[in-house]
Amino acid sequence: MILEMKQDNKLMKELMLFDRGYPSQELIAELIKMNINFVMRLKNSTFRKKINAANQDQIIQIKYNKRIYDVRIIKFHLESGVEEVLVTNLFDESITLSDFKKLYFMRWGIEIKYDELKNRLEIENFTGTTKIAIEQDFYASIYLSNMIELARKDSDEFVAFQRKDKNNKYEYKTNFNILIGSLKDKLIMMYLEESPRKRNKIYKDIMEKVSRSDIPIRPDRQNSRIKKFARGKYKTNKKRSL
């Protein structure tokens, strides 16, 4: 897919960010050969013998198919004390360790979306085993996710308006679980309602209900990673109604 995007000129000045499940000497070599800039998170065991433990910013060499490639290794510690190790082909010294730290954490929004799709909407949980059943469930989950996101934007604006003169310590946002539950109860009813006035009334009621359960946004809050086992996560035809 990366090669196809490159051939279609869809990868010009883009920087690709990869989680720690992706790095391999083969992938790194291919990206360098295609002149694609990247930043990848490494597992603690990756390139361990090559990385100098004392250096936070260093250049190492890796070998693939009898060719040598230079890569830059960036190391820093999270607030939890866990060491984060990144590999990149960006050698510009004006891009500092702090810049890489901020850059990698820009992935967080993507992780939140994955969590929503996989754990809240159970996109991997299918009601059938045929191709059409799987496609139907997949696109229904994506459609619902888009509808939830639109409603969340409206709800966040509603919450901000409700609290604009309250001088709270934190900003507030929509409680995502409450939003999903409210849409589950009202979304179909809203679609089936032919009167625009009544549809708007249903939607407004949802926004008002959700805004009463808003939650504070606590900056720089981090949750520890929980190890999960993928095998047997769902049983066919046991998907929740939403």
pTM comes to 0.60
Number of structural domains found in the chain:
2
Residue given tokens 């990144």 in the structure block: 86
Q: What is the 3-state secondary structure (H, E, C) of 206-230?
A: HHHHHHCCCEECCCCCCCCCCCCCC
More confident residue, 174 or 217: 174
Residues 103, 125 within the same domain? no
Residue 33 lies inside a defined structural domain of this protein: yes
Decide which of 80, 107, 134 is a domain's last residue. Answer: 107
Residue pLDDT, tens place only, 38-95: 999 888 777 777 777 678 899 999 889 999 999 999 988 887 788 888 999 999 989 9
What number is the average pLDDT over the span 137-164? Answer: 86
Residue pLDDT, tens place only, 80-135: 788 888 999 999 989 998 898 888 788 778 888 888 888 888 899 998 999 999 99
Residue 52 lies inside a defined structural domain of this protein: yes
Q: Which two tokens stand for residue 237?
A: 């035809």
